[in-house]
Copies of this chain bind each other. A is one copy, B any other.
């Protein structure tokens, strides 16, 4: 069968690990499968490149950032392919444009629009293992684009969909999807399976194990997805259309420390204000997460929202440049906050879930900054210093160490 295997940056961080990855690929190939491999940049390469750009200027253009960052994956596909070849296996590396990964023009946060898999199919036809650079593609104007954090997951799923692969394996440094981050919550438990919807909520809430866009695509194209460890042979977590098979209330807890909070204080209490603010941000391809609007003084109101810390400064600049257009009193911002979320398909039908969460936080003396809820999740904004304590308290309240809390 045709298998897409994705290996993250830590799995190819050094020569030993690259060979470990090569051996895993070799096993699948020798079993008679057609194998397409997606790899991320090695270890800290992407961070190092970002630092390099910031030595030049504190506001590098997004197009040039993409040009720079895409080199990380290009290096790791070349090195991984060399390792496969030195094991005697036929292999070839492809960049995003060679692999036909067509994206939008939104540099640094481009979306995959279409995959033209012709070159990959040609190489598979020649019995090659095809090693594709994750995280990158090309825009309609033939510029190099990148897909944002975790974009290699998206590349893997998009290729699996375009190639009608029977399986898409996401290899990582943990054994699968856990009820919470096991590095923070000691009693966290690995899930054997999870539905697309639950995984989507967990991913979009900051669980780092899968990129949310990749789960969206997997759901849309019904891609068989499994998250596994590249270091052990444990079976991993299958992500599929399971509905609420286990009928659990809370399937997991996600903690996102990459959050900055911005509050626009004292905007006029009149229609169109929110549109004015958020259209400015979306024009620059900046995603806003939680939005809360509160009443301020007599004729004004405050708008609070959260964004990725990476764009925090850019957001402040945009607001400053458009002060006269938006008309506000001042801006308050804080990049020392985090977002803790509980996710579960069963939550909507179970009363008192929010109360239980707030109680656990209160018992641990954790102050809640803001609250945002949907049908399948509850998120709270906290001071970052309370993050780990809060995650443990909420996990203990909802998730048993032996089994998931049943609704």
Q: A residues touching B (Cβ–Cβ < 8 Å)?
A: 15, 18, 49, 52-53, 55-57, 59-61, 63-65, 67-68, 70-71, 74-75, 77-79, 81-83, 85-86, 92-93, 95, 97-98, 119, 142-144
Min CB distance A258 to B, Å, is 23
Structural contact, B86 and A57, CB atoms closer than 8 A = yes
A30 to B74, CA, bound (A): 35
With known contacts A95-B144, A142-B119, A75–B71 Cβ distance under 8 A: yes
Structural contact, B67 and A78, CB atoms closer than 8 A = yes
With known contacts A71-B71, A142-B119, A86–B49 Cβ distance under 8 A: no
Given B15, B61, B74, which contacts A71 in the complex, CB threshold below 8 Å? B74
With known contacts A78-B64, A119-B142, A144-B95, A56–B83 Cβ distance under 8 A: yes
- Report whether over half of chain A's contact residues are helix, strand or loop; otherwise say mixed: helix
A65 to B55, CA, bound (A): 28
Structural contact, A81 and B93, CB atoms closer than 8 A = no
A19 — nearest CB in chain B belongs to which residue? B56
Structural contact, A85 and B71, CB atoms closer than 8 A = no
- Could you say which residues of chain B place their CB within 8 Å of the CB of A64? 78, 81-82, 85, 93
Structural contact, A68 and B57, CB atoms closer than 8 A = no
- Could you say which residues of chain B place their CB within 8 Å of the CB of A60? 82, 85-86
Structural contact, A86 and B67, CB atoms closer than 8 A = no
A15 to B53, CA, bound (A): 10
Structural contact, A56 and B79, CB atoms closer than 8 A = yes
Given A64-B78, A64-B81, A74-B74, 18 more A-B residue pairs with CB atoms under 8 Å apart are: A49-B75, A52-B79, A53-B78, A53-B79, A56-B79, A56-B82, A57-B82, A57-B83, A57-B85, A61-B81, A61-B82, A64-B82, A64-B93, A65-B78, A67-B93, A70-B74, A71-B71, A95-B144
A97 to B79, CA, bound (A): 21
- Could you say which residues of chain B place their CB within 8 Å of the CB of A97? 97
- Could you say which residues of chain B place their CB within 8 Å of the CB of A63? 92
A63 to B98, CA, bound (A): 14
- Could you say which residues of chain B place their CB within 8 Å of the CB of A75? 49, 52, 68, 71
Structural contact, B15 and A56, CB atoms closer than 8 A = yes
Given B18, B68, B86, B92, which contacts A79 in the complex, CB threshold below 8 Å? B68
A63 to B94, CA, bound (A): 11
A142 to B119, CA, bound (A): 10
A60 to B93, CA, bound (A): 13
With known contacts A98-B142, A119-B142, A142-B98, A68–B59 Cβ distance under 8 A: no
A92 — nearest CB in chain B belongs to which residue? B63
Min CB distance A38 to B, Å, is 15
- Could you say which residues of chain B place their CB within 8 Å of the CB of A68? 74-75, 78-79, 82
